[in-house]
Amino acid sequence: MGVPPEPTRESSLRSSRGTGLRRSRRAAGSSSFASTMRALDDLALAGARVSLHVADLDRDAVVLAGDDFVTHPVAGLGVVPLLIEVAARFDDGSLDPLEIVERETDGSATTGIWQHLKAPALPLVDLAVLAAATGDEPAANALLARVGLEAVRSRVEGMGLEHTALLDWFRDHRGPDDAPHFALASARELAGLFAALVNGKAVSAAVSAQVAEWLSLHHDLSLVAAETGLDPFDHDNDAHGLLFINKTGRDDGIRVEAGVLAGPRAGLSYALIVCFDDLSVMHRLRVHSAFHTLGVDLMEHVH
């Protein structure tokens, strides 16, 4: 098993890209995010492409950012615009939440829970829950088939997101005629999108609340959220006053998480995207460790 090469300071994020990680002193709280800055700089030095955006919800100020304008593949996190379109259709009455949809059997996407269930068909609202809570790809594909890819793209454009795009369906294998990725986004727009959801500004207050409710069920707390100590199956009843929603994305050489974390001291929206060479378990664990480091700094800031 290979070990990731030790980074050299000659190719650091700051020197090679010119932007690097920058912190707003005005917005900084109890955490300096110094550990996060070091961890992400080390990833960049080792060849990873890193984008980060952290913003203070109350002050509307950037706490920490690095290459947050760059568009990257974001894998399953691309279901968030899809969920917004579905929720908007439910809200305006153009889509019936209880409409029954059958599971596709073409095997194009096989990651998720639905394929293991006996029910061959489910209502749209249950598919939205599966897509949000477990990242169920057949469920997301069924929702996308119902509302249409062009409608999601139009919704994204209407929300003013210039660096976010849903490109395709979920697929287990992508051929030369398929889009190279499921979705693209920038860290800045992802963090802003989650801030809009909790502030009731994503399409409408009702749509924002519905999507935030679905995302509050998300089970993957293995990256940034690992440091919250929250129950993966029950985010809403935390004894220590944490408010949390998130969504992760995973693919070969891609790890991404965006969300909102709020506590007694402050509230933050965040997004971290890392694209890397997944050459060994150690390469992957180094990336996951950087997500955990950000989680520690976020917790220190809000609590």
Question: What confidence score (pLDDT) does residue 232 get?
Answer: 92
Question: What confidence score (pLDDT) does residue 234 get?
Answer: 87
Q: What is the 3-state secondary structure (H, E, C) of the chain?
A: CCCCCCCCHHHCHHHHHCCCEEECCCCCCCCCCHHHHHHHHHHHHCCCEEEEEEEECCCCEEEEEECCCCEEECHHHHHHHHHHHHHHHHHHCCCCCCCEEECCCCCCCCCCCHHHCCCCEEEHHHHHHHHHHHCCHHHHHHHHHHHCHHHHHHHHHHCCCCCCEECCCCCCCCCCCCCCCCEEEEHHHHHHHHHHHHCCCCCCHHHHHHHHHHHCCCCCCCCHHHHHCCECCECCCCCCCCEEEEEEEEECCEEEEEEEEECCCCEEEEEEEEECCCCCHHHHHHHHHHHHHHHHHHHHHHC
Sorted by where each begins, the domain ranges of the chain are: 10-302
The span from the CA of 262 to the CA of 241, in Å, is 8
Q: Give residue-wise pLDDT tens across range 156-168.
A: 999 999 999 999 9
The closest alpha carbon to 81, from 158, 1, 181, belongs to: 158
Whole-angstrom CA distances from 73 to 40, 78, 94, 250, 253 are 18, 9, 31, 10, 10
pTM of the prediction? Answer: 0.90
List, edge to edge, every strand of the sheet that includes 183-186: 71-73, 183-186, 165-166
The CATH number given to 10-302 is 3.40.710.10
Q: Name the stretches of the chain with pLDDT < 50.
A: 1-19, 24-30
Residue 36 has φ and ψ, to the nearest 5°, of: -65, -45
Question: What confidence score (pLDDT) does residue 110 get?
Answer: 77
Question: What confidence score (pLDDT) does residue 173 get?
Answer: 87
